[in-house]
């Protein structure tokens, strides 16, 4: 069987919050590698957290894809990265609960994590951590988008 390779896309994301909780914003840049075509989006909320905005950026970026892709996610969020690579499988096995002090407690931001899990399962997803505010052009652009969106709610 001759299977066509999946389109390769890079997804760059960032979230921002003024206060935690407080007004927040998210932004992403999605780049199709073969064509160089790019899409940018951003948005925000009046009362949210930085972690929620980091998650929302990834959720919205993956949701923008119309078909299955080979996606490399670039984010400065250790929270998103560890959630995807270390924590989520355990949470799912525990009914979306996390261990804290020897007890199972609800996962924070469970709705966003569930949506991220659903979207990630539709693609081949690889996580790559970038250092925030280090001059990485796409990360800086996502930060600009997120901060601009956040400022609309201040």
Active-site residue set = 14-15, 54, 76, 133, 143
Residue in the block written with tokens 């991220």: 116
Q: Find out whether 75 and 13 touch, Cβ atoms under 8 Å.
A: yes
Structure tokens at 111: 């709705």
Query: Per the structure block, which two tokens stand in for 129?
Result: 């951590």
Distance CA 65, CA 41 (A): 12
Distance CA 140, CA 127 (A): 18
- Return the H-helix or E-strand segment holding 145: helix 137-151
């Amino acid at each position: 069987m001759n299977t066509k390779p999946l389109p390769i896309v890079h997804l760059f994301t960032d979230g921002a919050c003024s206060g935690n909780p407080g007004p927040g914003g998210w932004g992403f840049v999605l780049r199709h590698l073969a064509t160089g075509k790019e899409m940018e989006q951003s948005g925000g909320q009046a009362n949210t957290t930085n972690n929620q905005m980091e998650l929302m950026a990834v959720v919205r970026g993956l949701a923008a894809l119309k078909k299955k892709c080979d996606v490399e996610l670039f984010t400065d969020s250790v929270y998103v990265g560890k959630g995807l690579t270390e924590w989520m499988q355990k949470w799912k096995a525990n009914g979306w609960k996390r261990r804290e002090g020897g007890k199972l407690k609800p996962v924070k931001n469970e709705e966003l994590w569930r949506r991220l899990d659903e979207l990630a399962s539709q693609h081949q997803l690889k996580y790559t951590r970038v250092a925030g505010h280090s001059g990485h052009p796409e990360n800086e652009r996502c930060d600009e988008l997120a901060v601009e969106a956040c400022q609309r709610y201040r």
